[in-house]
Structure 1
Amino acid sequence: MNFFQFFVWGSWLISLGGYMGNQLGFSGLQIGSVYSTMGIASVFMPGLLGIVADRWVNAERVFALAHFIAAGALIAAAGMTDFASFYTYMLVHSLFYMPTLALSNSVCYNVLTRRNFDVVKTFPPIRVWGTVGFIVAMWAVDLLGWTKSANQLYLAAGAGLFLGCYAFTVPPSPPYLDETRKKSLMSSLGLDAFVLFRKKNIALFFVFSLLLGAALQITNAFGGPFLDDFKTKYPDSFGVKHPNLLLSISQISETLFILLIPFFLTRFGIRNVILFSIVAWVLRFALFGLGNPDDRLYLLILSMIIYGMAFDFFNISGSLYVEKMAEPTIRSSAQGLFMIMTNGFGAIIGSYGSGWVVDHFTDSGGVRDWPNIWFTFAGYALALAVLFLLVFRDRRIEDIKR
């Protein structure tokens, strides 16, 4: 399930920016706005479908239906060339795909918990198959020559339809139906998970989830266009010819850092693990600003390797942190709330903000000043690291062991 969950995303997430910029002629702000659909969807849809899964319908069935609708939207988007239509169908896709990220975690946690597994130790080796699926999809799109083709969307849709069918074969994840939850006003309004904001540490965690979430979509949207802009200066370089293969090093790095998460969490605690992640984002962007796909290719490769720490140490550890802090009865809602903060409000800020930065450093001839673009993003991450170090002071490992 994890393999195909992220195969769907990997088929287009990294390469769609290049397709939109080169084949459809979209501007930086338009590309950013398409990527922002994931943020818009994540503001309310993960929480909404999480509530449905917590109360009325098995989580794996909600998961399946969402994938069917999301796949249909991708098929429709693949046939569009104008911005308005393309944006609309990608928005529909995001509305139903983004909730499946939280629902897949919820289904996994539910099955593991019911079978008495230690979630903190058991989940990362399972989740690593999602990263493998993402990498396989990226390589397939690159080697088939689809990085600037609508075929990447058809590939993602096919995988989504298969996953929707497969979801009906996984162990059931039924909702909790006790009388207290039925009569709860918070439950009726779908505000269960917001009680977590009463705890100072987790409230701060969600605030930084929003701020750090802004960094998550930047290289997804503009990594491809960045490498493609070297096609005139370095037309025969590996990064220009095979952008997805180069960028996939980031996901390969994830497989290592995912497996290291339990060690780092128990040794350093959630605060330091998140801080490591933010500092890694600083290095990720700075190395992009200094590198190129020719004589400075090693800097880009180093940036890809660092991405594993930047992404996993926050995204996976954060999901585990929320899982341990939330009651079982609000598991799906809590995971949905985490998605709202990172891939919702954070992604909206990051998508539109990065699009504005790219256009700001683009001259009238369409030439982009990539070093200043990446250094701007690095400066943002550095400011966030300093703020986190000053504000989030809880060092207790007990926060994730409860």
Structure 2
Amino acid sequence: MKKLVRFQLSLMMFLEFFIWGGWFVTLGTFLADNLQATGAETALAFSTQSWGAIIAPFIIGLIADRFFNAERILGVLHLIGAILMYMMYSSVDFGSFYPYVLGYMVLYMPTLALVNSISFAQMKDPSKEFSNIRVFGTIGWIISGVVISTVFAWDAPEARAEGMLKYTFLMVAIASAFLGLFSFTLPKTPPSGKGEKITIKDILGLEAIGLLKNRNFFMFFLSSILICIPLAFYYQNANPFLAEVGMGAPTVKMAIGQVSEALFLLLIPFFFKRYGFKITLIAGMLAWTIRYLLFAYGNADELVFMLYIGIALHGICYDFFFVSGQIYTDSKAGPKIKSAAQGLITLATYGVGMLIGFWVAGQISDMYLNADGTHDWTNIWIVPAGFAFVVMIIFAIFFRNEKVEYSE
């Protein structure tokens, strides 16, 4: 790969995830502080990610794969996204904010697939080259947390009291406009399915539905949906929780989770080889339970180390279940339905599973809201801890151990 192309793809990935991390991490805190949103309203805002994940295949399948170059669609989506971000920055109540965040996520979620498509099109051996490009996305997410917490300190208590978190949307609007314009300079990526007939069944990955006849794959599929319910608690509540209990610079400290994610990704081959797929997934689910118990009983004072450990467990929570699950899905699907199988899992998890999870998290947050506006976080975190443990037990009992090949 030419150095210029490598630089372009790396910058594209950096900006793509800088944009996501630059507002989504602090969204729950912003909604509570700036718009006085309830738990149910916060759940509505976060669930736009799920609606975006559900609608994204239609945009990619019906438009990107058939009619227009991927880099041009990426540019248009981010330019429109910049406008919507600015409107979110200008919103003064949840009623005016919600339509913009919904529209934004419907447009943003397809870009996650587009940046991958653009990258893969320039690679001779994606299995070896892609990780070196994708890591800049993780770096972008981390840097967004550093900018919010350290450079501008928008999530500091006094800044939050003045409503400064709204500037995260302005920052992201600028970054999105830049990426939108920059996208038109990216290597040309013509539509891969131009002239081909495509059906709704193809778009949703439903041709992979036959995999569910396999008992093990069905249990994995069901567990993937269910484990997304406690996952939603983390995305929706972690930043407001850390801010409310008094942890300084919570956004940059949550970036420890992204560092952990990058490190534990390197350990997956070792776990696969040493312990097998089933134990690796069980370890991931158990980590969710441990993480939430640490959040439930830790604090920002003498037990702050428990909060740090809980954040750092993100690598095991995410990589050992979701990345391992992608590998397992790839191994179970034949060559003709590999993409369809991955699409089906994505639709089930980020679509259906997290849509349910955000709603549940919102209801639980409102249930344990105190009269003074604070929350009973111990009881809030006990719910996903117990749920994740039950899912782990069900998976351990009904999933028969099998060997899964993993190519390093």
Q: TM-score with structure 1 length normalisation?
A: 0.86
Aligned to 1:196: 208
Match of 1:31 among 42, 46, 69: 42
Distance 1:319-1:130 versus aligned 2 partners, 3 A rule: farther
Letter in 2 for 1:77: M
TM-fit CA distance, 1:66? 2.3
Aligned to 2:245: 230
TM-fit CA distance, 1:106? 3.7
Deviates more, 1:279-288 or 1:220-229: 220-229
TM-fit CA distance, 1:268? 4.1
Aligned to 1:235: none
Letter in 2 for 1:188: T
* Structure with greater contact order relative to length (CA < 8 Å, sep ≥ 6): 1
Aligned to 2:87: 76
SS in 1 for 2:223: helix
Matching of residue 260 in structure 1 with residue 260 in structure 2 = no
Letter in 2 for 1:96: L
SS in 2 for 1:55: coil
Aligned to 2:140: 133
Deviates more, 1:266-275 or 1:143-152: 266-275
Matching of residue 116 in structure 1 with residue 125 in structure 2 = yes
TM-fit CA distance, 1:4? 1.5
User: Structure 2 matches for 1:207-246, cutoff 5 A?
Assistant: 207-231=222-246, 239=247, 241-246=248-253
Measure the CA separation in 1 of the matches of 2:407 and 2:221. 18
Return 5+ residue gaps in structure 1 as ranges. Answer: 232-238
TM-fit CA distance, 1:252? 1.9
Letter in 2 for 1:92: G
Matching of residue 348 in structure 1 with residue 355 in structure 2 = yes
TM-fit CA distance, 1:60? 3.3
Matching of residue 154 in structure 1 with residue 166 in structure 2 = no
CA contact (8 A) 2:284 2:317 kept: yes
Deviations 1:242-266 (A, max 9, x none): 1112222212212211233344345
Deviations 1:15-65 (A, max 9, x none): 121111112211122112111111122122234424433333333333333
User: Structure 2 matches for 1:3-402, cutoff 5 A?
Assistant: 3-112=14-123, 115-117=124-126, 119=127, 121-143=128-150, 144-147=152-155, 148=160, 149-177=165-193, 181-182=196-197, 187-191=198-202, 193-199=205-211, 200=214, 201-231=216-246, 239=247, 241-322=248-329, 335-398=342-405
SS in 1 for 2:266: helix
- What fraction of aligned residue pairs are identical, expressed as a percent? 34
Distance 1:247-1:116 versus aligned 2 partners, 3 A rule: closer
Letter in 1 for 2:34: Q
Deviates more, 1:243-252 or 1:74-83: 243-252
SS in 2 for 1:217: helix
Distance 1:269-1:44 versus aligned 2 partners, 3 A rule: farther
Aligned to 1:234: none
Q: TM-score with structure 2 length normalisation?
A: 0.85
Measure the CA separation in 2 of the matches of 1:88 and 1:3. 27
Measure the CA separation in 2 of the matches of 1:98 and 1:369. 33
SS in 2 for 1:191: helix
CA contact (8 A) 1:106 1:332 kept: no
Letter in 1 for 2:115: S
Distance 1:263-1:105 versus aligned 2 partners, 3 A rule: farther
CA contact (8 A) 2:328 2:404 kept: no
Deviations 1:89-120 (A, max 9, x none): 000111011122233334434443xx134x2x
Q: How many residues align?
A: 384
CA contact (8 A) 1:60 1:172 kept: yes
Return 5+ residue gaps in structure 2 as ranges. Answer: 1-11
TM-fit CA distance, 1:378? 0.3
Letter in 2 for 1:230: V
Please provide the CA RMSD for this pair.
2.7
Distance 1:178-1:21 versus aligned 2 partners, 3 A rule: closer
